[in-house]
Structure 1
Amino acid sequence: MKNSKHILFVHYGENWIRGSEQCLLNLIQHINKNDYTPFLWTNNKTLHIKVKNLGFCSKLSKFLILFGWKSPRFNFLLWKKQIDFAKKYIFDKNIDLVHVNSAAPCQWMIFPAKSMNVPMITQLHSDYSVYERTTLGLHLSPKIIAVSKAITNQLISDGYPKDRLFVIPNGIDINHLRKSIKIDIKSNLYLPKNSFIFTTIGSLIYRKGIDRIIIAIDRLILKYPYIHLIVIGDGPQNKKLRELTNHLNLQNHIHFIGNKKNPQKWLLDTNAFVLGSRKEAFGLVIIEAALAAVPIIVPNEGGIPEIITHRKNGFLYKNSGIQPLMKTMQYIIENPKLALNIGIEAKKYVLKNHSITYNTKQFETIYKQTIEENYSKKIYFWKIFYPLKTFFFNKFKLMKKYVL
């Protein structure tokens, strides 16, 4: 007879360890093993290997999403086999609860969970479009946990029940990061002693807005020739961002250093952390930067204002164009002591609100409640179309505004 409850984590994603993957790893590592035993089913080979190396059971599969982003998009037979495998896996591993990490697996996991009478929770790390909310069947999920309140807004507008929506902000392993020993950036990159260093961390993709930070540096450098930008990360826009850097003749001021296993080492020796995201649901790197007690410059976007209060524990800029970002960076350069004090306040806030221990306890509370109540109602497929109702209602309001 088993003593702990078995939780199946189902994750769909690219073959990397970034925000949602790291949050899942943190949860699997820190969950109370006396009460819960984690199992993973994923299409992410890197995540699969990491979980196996941690000593937990993990299954690697190719996932098919109907009407999704990659081919095949319409193979109903393979999709049905995916559901059948999930049923068998739930039975074989004696699963007590399914935790879907990201929206995509919700599309098929809702059916085996329902047929096997196993409760299910869907965790969302970002916003999803009307098309995605519809085709992934988010409104069929019995419960949804979001990493920020901002993510819940569209679901509530669609008509998703508020009493089945929960917000659990991301947490970080504070004790692990505290062991980080800072890197001497100036010595490592041969920078002048008077350099003022901005650091940004993230995937090199359009949404992260690294190009906006580079352009801001270009506009500031005439007045502040000693500023530098460290770019930690990699991605499909790497070449394009380097070309932009060369075009602006900023090779000696923009430093691409790739992915780092422990970017905290670099944050500890930076003058300010800056984020250029065009869209951001939460931003795990923000709380990592806060733990380093550095001034934080971030857009007033998505769930970020739920973490950062302007001029209290960071600096928010209006998320439009380059000018607001540039002016905020300039303010940090000219007011380093004030900025540093605000960075210290950011660290205090993170220590209180975003530890992985606090984060995990919140999940465990919901797990316990969900397993005990075993919320299982009939699936009403028409709920899939809730997002379309919102879409057409908003379109109608917009037309009415301009016509009348």
Structure 2
Amino acid sequence: MRILIATYWSYPSLGGITTYIKELSQQLMRNGYHVDIFSLHPSLKSYYVVNSDVKFSKKKMKAMISNQNASLPSDLWMRYQEIERSCYEAAASQLPLNQYDLIHTQDIFSTNIFSRIKPKNVPLVTTVHGCFSTEMIRYGIIKKNTERWKYSTEFESRALSESQHIITPSNWLNHYLKELFCLKGVRITTVHNGLSVSSFLSKLNQAFHPPSSQSKKIVLSCIARLTPLKGHIYLLDALAELKKNTLDWECWFIGNGEIKKKLVNKTRKLNLQNHVKFLGFQKDIPNSLNQTDILILPSLQENLPYVIMEAQISGTPVIATHVGGIPEMIEPFRTGLLSPPKDSDTLYKNIQLLLQNKTLKTDIIRSAKEFGEKQWAIERTTKEVNAIYQEERQRIN
């Protein structure tokens, strides 16, 4: 079978969509499928088919659609969205789509575009990794009950209805999309993401250089982009409480982002600068986890974070927040611990609990590893995705 995996976003890049595409495409190819990936190039200057000579200049695509400018919205953000989508469509339209047996899009934008330009006998399956409209609200780009909100939600609802089959990585997102957009007659199936467990485990014992000479300290790690939605600010408050009771620890903030300066200032204000280390982006997460005693993810919003999968497989106990799809990953006191979002006090108590209760920590490590190696195996994910591929091919024929 020949599959085209398409995303509107750049590939490869940081984040879960790139991991999903990489893991799924590699397993599909191991199963004998031919897989092409179409996306925006990481340079942001062209669209391309990965690992091929097929490339379309974004500048040329903009020139092709210049005659559409008169009909564009006056709102600058909405205008930008229209131009970007038109450029992507101009490039995608030049692909030989009739050579594929199925197209698997990874977002609402590529879904909307490929639903219009694909041959009628080629099924369109979509994995939705989040809700664009609500994410734009959380980032302060749009507000509810405004023209932008109407524009965004109407487009997202229409795009979701244009796919033959929607895959969501979590039950939480599945239910959320159904409720928000009142989706009727749309096939939506939850398939949990996965990764190559054997490949991940093989990386765990490679060398990693700790950020300080005090490597015998307990290492807490928060592996997440430094953005407001990741909840670092609440973790710092929890760490300030932890410092009152014990000093033989340090916390690594692994990741970059726009609120680093704010977090550094708060770290100094709480007098935590000798305990909190800002390590920036680390390419080799398996090795970071290999040096970590407890992973902490204090997010305000998540879908199905890969870092929790990786921590469970690596034998690193996880403390996370009860948001999004995380409760599908963590059964409290068996495969990890959960705290309410924005609750620094409970977060502190959970950290203290794992530091003090060695038996509980050992039990969680064992149960989470056993659960993770089975539940997060890419073979399971691919088997379930392939079943949807076959179902939609039979349906369209």
- TM-score with structure 2 length normalisation? 0.82
- Percent identity between matched residues is 23
Q: What's the CA shift for 1:7?
A: 2.2
Match of 1:142 in 2: 164
Where 1:12 maps in the other structure, the secondary structure is strand
Name which of 272, 293, 297 aligns with 2:319: 297
Taking the aligned partners of 1:103 and 1:75, their CA distance within structure 2 comes to 12
Greater shift after overlay, 261-270 or 197-206? 261-270
| Deviations 1:24-82, CA, capped at 9 Å, x for gaps | 11111121356422122212417999x978x4676566599x88998572686775564
Match of 2:137 in 1: none
Q: What's the CA shift for 1:163?
A: 6.5
Where 2:362 maps in the other structure, the secondary structure is helix
Aligned pair in 2 of structure 1 residues 281, 226: CA closer, same or farther (>3 Å)? Answer: same
Taking the aligned partners of 1:299 and 1:39, their CA distance within structure 2 comes to 36
Q: What's the CA shift for 1:353?
A: 1.0
Aligned pair in 2 of structure 1 residues 67, 226: CA closer, same or farther (>3 Å)? Answer: farther
Equivalent residues in 2 for 1:91-102 (5 A)? 91=97, 94-102=99-107
Q: Does 1:330 align with 2:379?
A: no
Greater shift after overlay, 25-34 or 278-287? 25-34
Q: What's the CA shift for 1:124?
A: 1.2
Match of 1:392 in 2: none
Equivalent residues in 2 for 1:1-400 (5 A)? 4-13=1-10, 16-32=13-29, 35-45=32-42, 55=51, 59=55, 62=58, 73=79, 79-80=85-86, 82-91=88-97, 94-113=99-118, 116-129=120-133, 131=149, 132-136=152-156, 137=158, 138-157=160-179, 158-161=181-184, 164-182=187-205, 188-191=211-214, 193=216, 195-374=217-396
Q: What's the CA shift for 1:104?
A: 2.8
- TM-score with structure 1 length normalisation? 0.80
Q: What's the CA shift for 1:301?
A: 0.9
Taking the aligned partners of 2:73 and 2:379, their CA distance within structure 1 comes to 38
| Deviations 1:170-200, CA, capped at 9 Å, x for gaps | 111211111124478796521163x221111
Q: Is the contact made by 1:174 and 1:356 (CA closer than 8 Å) also made in structure 2?
A: yes
Match of 2:142 in 1: none
Q: Is the contact made by 1:156 and 1:162 (CA closer than 8 Å) also made in structure 2?
A: no
Q: What's the CA shift for 1:101?
A: 0.9
Aligned residue identity for 1:127: C
Q: Is the contact made by 1:41 and 1:60 (CA closer than 8 Å) also made in structure 2?
A: no
Taking the aligned partners of 1:321 and 1:359, their CA distance within structure 2 comes to 33
